Chains A and B, each alone.
Chain A
């Protein structure tokens, strides 16, 4: 029987009989492992580098850019998008996509506005919209999983549906004047000499919760497993049905939460709110290093992605000569770069 040593990077214990061969084999595996690690972290590292460069450019070119409040404002102005993108991260990690998020956000603002108008108590309104968002997500998840229809087309239908429901409620903007909403939009929570809004805290809580769920719970790990290999996950006896439906439910819940935050921010319900937000959310997730085919990525990356999007807006505002549409073009270009980066990194992996 030939003694082929079981080589592995950490098998430093017993000295192998054939040092040359073992070293060579070890080197191959080492290289392989490095590539794997590369694949895991390159997208996120890319985002981090990009962020630093952008921030540096901002500080170098514009007065007052170094002000920490600028960074905090990014979170204040994008708290709703952050929450929506967190939900999208779950979906994309399983290898799916959710195009309905923007419409669900808009629907949430509409329902808030109209029920508050009807005199519903604020807590009831909040619970109602959160349940509504979750149920919408649940329904889409069920159709996707049980009838095996592409997530893309199902959530597209969901997008139409939610947007249509907005217009059924009202075709024009409804202002929200409820004291709770006013308080939420006007309160500033001081941190040292800076301040944030309660919405930022809510978004931070959502991010933290999502990070814990993804990293340390069975649900979270099953999400990664499904994204890694759906068929394997099924054969390993994991609760694939439950998890796939859960991610769309979570995305629906996050969209409703984002909608709630947007209604605080805008103090209105409008069927035209959040048009195209699904694209921003997807862009943030992708720029944040989550691989679009699923199985790899972090909520922390998504936060970075949001900051990148926010920095683009901020720089364009600071520049003054650049118009707002450059935001779209930059986001498109970044999306392209990161998708390409993912592509090459994945291709190089043996």
Chain B
């Protein structure tokens, strides 16, 4: 039991379960999943589908945070990618054709990678603080997205494009499959190669990693580009889901949700050890929270209040200063209580 309590994913998982169960109070059939016309339907499936973009963005954010950085521009990059893809589609004669949609996606994601690489360049080569470097694109990216859409909302009429966000494949929402595939790819890339360890190393002790012969520059650069890639796909999903691109609204505030998901998942903002599984759970938790609040009839926007409280609590729990102050306050050590907290490190 104590081993279970100590597991770093125990608390996020428990919170997710409690939140899911509490939904039963408002929606008796919350856990029902039906198979209709070969498609899965149900609240749980909705949560999965809606959380797909957040999972992707949070995935990139996890790696960036693990290197000791942060990427504030993900929301803007999403908007740019979605806008470019939609712009390309509406300018083609046959919006529905696969030969239209595939290049559109490639364009959107390609630009997103370029933007991510730009961030990486500023951080790794120019040596700007990550917050500042990505702030630039956070500001300019929104303008760029609106420039692409010319301030309008581009509406596309393409079932093939819509499929990315709202379609079903093999009974599962296609967005979930994409997200799962990217997550699997990332896990494979980081844990089957030495990439994950090198990232943790650069984030954990940059001086030591230099002396051990690691060139953190290329690595950091690549990680930011990858974050751009993730945000790009998320941008496609978000715009495909509603078949339209709004340069202002797509991915708005998602950077904050993504950071939150990463922190909930047990990755420290100071860099170092990261947990992809934790991030996925964190993203699901946030989406469940949104859905729950929506179903209870409380204004959806107030979820921000809860998120603020969650961020503060988690940061306090992670803060060594807070813990030592708490311990001093308590005087008597109570290991039963302290154990899971320590496991969070």
Give chain A's interface residues, CB within 8 Å of chain B. 97, 143, 146-150, 152-154, 156-161, 163-168, 171, 271, 276, 279, 282-283, 292-293, 323-333, 335-336, 339-340, 343
Contact = CB atoms under 8 A, between A and B. Distances in A.
A84 to B, nearest CB: 16
B169 interface: no
A156 B143 contact: no
Nearest to B127: A343
12 contacts: A146-B321, A147-B319, A160-B304, A160-B308, A161-B304, A164-B306, A167-B305, A276-B142, A279-B138, A335-B140, A339-B128, A339-B136
Contacts of A168: 299, 302, 305
Interface string B105-137: 000000000000000000000111101110111
B225 interface: no
B180 interface: no
Contacts of A165: 305
B322 A328 contact: no
Contacts of B305: 160-161, 164-165, 167-168
B184 interface: no
A154 B315 contact: yes
B316 to A, nearest CB: 6
A325 B143 contact: yes
B250 interface: no
B144 A167 contact: no
B84 interface: no
A219 B126 CA distance: 34
Interface stretch (B1-9, B145-153, B196-204, B332-340): B145-153
Main SS of the interface on chain A? helix
Main SS of the interface on chain B? helix
B12 interface: no
A234 B281 CA distance: 41
A292 B311 CA distance: 25
A149 B315 contact: yes
Contacts, number: 133
Given A153-B315, A163-B301, 19 more contacts: A152-B131, A153-B259, A157-B312, A159-B308, A163-B304, A164-B304, A171-B299, A171-B301, A279-B135, A293-B129, A323-B150, A324-B151, A325-B143, A328-B142, A328-B146, A329-B143, A332-B136, A336-B140, A340-B126
B343 interface: no
A249 to B, nearest CB: 18
Interface string B253-290: 00010010001000001000000000000000000000
Contacts of B269: 150, 153
Contacts of A326: 143, 147
Given A156-B311, A161-B304, A328-B139, A148 B321 contact: yes
A138 B132 CA distance: 24
A329 B145 CA distance: 10
Given A148-B321, A343-B128, A160 B311 contact: yes
B303 A164 contact: yes
Nearest to A163: B304
A149 B136 contact: no
Contacts of B150: 323
B167 interface: no
Interface in B218-267: 247, 256, 259, 263
A164 B301 CA distance: 6
A189 to B, nearest CB: 33
Contacts of A157: 308-309, 311-312, 315
A238 B312 CA distance: 28
B322 A147 contact: yes
A160 B310 CA distance: 10
Nearest to B256: A156
Contacts of A167: 299, 301-302, 304-305
A333 B136 CA distance: 7
A207 B99 CA distance: 58
A309 B2 CA distance: 57
A31 B136 CA distance: 33
Contact of A335 (B139, B145, B312): B139
Interface in B53-68: none
B251 to A, nearest CB: 13
B141 interface: yes
Contacts of A279: 135, 138-139
Contacts of A328: 139-140, 142-144, 146
Contacts of B137: 332
B135 A335 contact: yes
B266 to A, nearest CB: 15
Contacts of A271: 301
B316 A156 contact: no
A283 B132 CA distance: 10
A164 B308 contact: yes
Contacts of B307: 160, 164
Interface string B312-333: 1001100111100100000000
B304 A323 contact: no
A305 to B, nearest CB: 14
Nearest to A143: B312
B138 A325 contact: no
Given A147-B322, A161-B304, A323-B150, A332 B139 contact: yes
Which of A279, A328, A335 has its CB near the most chain B CB atoms (within 10 A)? A328
Nearest to B321: A148
A297 to B, nearest CB: 14
Given A153-B269, A325-B143, A158 B308 contact: yes
B311 A164 contact: no
A330 B144 CA distance: 10
Contacts of B136: 332, 335-336, 339
A160 B129 contact: no
Which of B70, B135, B302, B307 has its CB near the most chain A CB atoms (within 10 A)? B135
Q: Nearest 8 A-B pairs (CB), nearest first?
A: A332-B140, A328-B143, A164-B305, A325-B146, A160-B308, A329-B143, A161-B308, A164-B304
Interface in B137-189: 137-147, 150-151
A150 B130 CA distance: 14
